[in-house]
Amino acid sequence: MVDIHSHILPGIDDGSRSMEETVEMLRVAREHGTTTIVASPHADTQYHYDPEHVDALIASATLLAGPGIEIVRGCDFHLMFDNLERALRFPERYTINGRCYLLMELSDLTIFSNTSALWSQLEEAGMKIILTHPERNPLLRQRFEQVEEWVSQGRYMQVTAQSLLGLFGQKALDFARLLLDRGLVHFIASDAHDTKGRPPRLDLAHRWVAERYSPRLADLLCIEHPKAAVEGRPLDLSGFPPAVAARKSGLLARLLRR
């Protein structure tokens, strides 16, 4: 599996606190089926994002972790003026693996009325927007039509693996299910911050989707689409989501599981 969103690097945001914890997180990810993981530290008003420092930490972590898992650079990009200005000048400093996909986190407190227009500027510079964990954003949970519109405009949605397991609460789980039912989820990622509370585990979410929707959809969300993002390739959305997907998670299926 390919994990496009994690906070595995030590001491640069609210994720790993030490290189020892980083190595342990990488061990957990590798032992549970992740072969590539994107280190995506925050870039916001609280945490300074320095891609050269990130690259140095990735090099150290790669040596200490050993074979079996690849670490590539990304960024948990917050939509603010300074970030926007820098990304327009140097997109490869913020995108996944220096290619074209950009992880985008929106505030829980306000969503700018010109968000779509700001994204368009980034897209005109060659970037593709992946909105991270919309199911955990209380504002977006009240704006399903907005999420639907963004997807129709070519933006992508990434759900957190643990949301599907109920670990971010019932509201996040319900909204994640709604997005899956409507074919609006393109990626599942761990958004890992540690080894216990928020570990780098995609396997449980992969199994959850495979059982409730289809193995094919699970592979697309946890393997094929994330791999395309790391490699900078377009997603093949012909026939997406698989025809079996939304039917197995609808009201009838939920009634039958009771």
Looking at the predicted structure, is the pLDDT value of residue 247 above 70?
no
Contacts of 88 (CB under 8 A, 6+ apart): 121, 122, 125
The predicted-structure confidence for 208-235, as pLDDT tens digits, reads as follows 999 999 999 999 999 999 999 999 999 9
Which homologous superfamily is 2-257 in?
Metal-dependent hydrolases (3.20.20.140)
Distances (CA, A) of 106 to 1, 94, 101, 138: 26, 16, 16, 11
Q: Yes or no: say if 221 and 186 are a contact pair by the CB < 8 Å rule.
A: yes
Residue 251 has a pLDDT of: 45
Taking residues 24-32, report their average pLDDT. 98
Q: How far is CA 223 from the centre of its chain?
A: 12
Q: Yes or no: say if 30 and 69 are a contact pair by the CB < 8 Å rule.
A: yes
Residue 105 has a pLDDT of: 97
Three-state secondary structure call for residue 120: helix
Question: Model's pTM, two decimal places?
Answer: 0.93
| Bridge partners, 43 (sequence order) | 77
Taking residues 21-37, report their average pLDDT. 98
The predicted-structure confidence for 125-136, as pLDDT tens digits, reads as follows 999 999 999 999
Q: How confident is the model at residue 108 (pLDDT cuts 50, 70, 90)?
A: very high
Distances (CA, A) of 26 to 5, 58, 77, 162: 13, 11, 22, 17
Q: Yes or no: say if 154 and 113 are a contact pair by the CB < 8 Å rule.
A: no
Looking at the predicted structure, is the pLDDT value of residue 255 above 50?
no
CA angle in degrees (0–180, nearest 5) for 14-19-25: 75
Q: How confident is the model at residue 70 (pLDDT cuts 50, 70, 90)?
A: very high
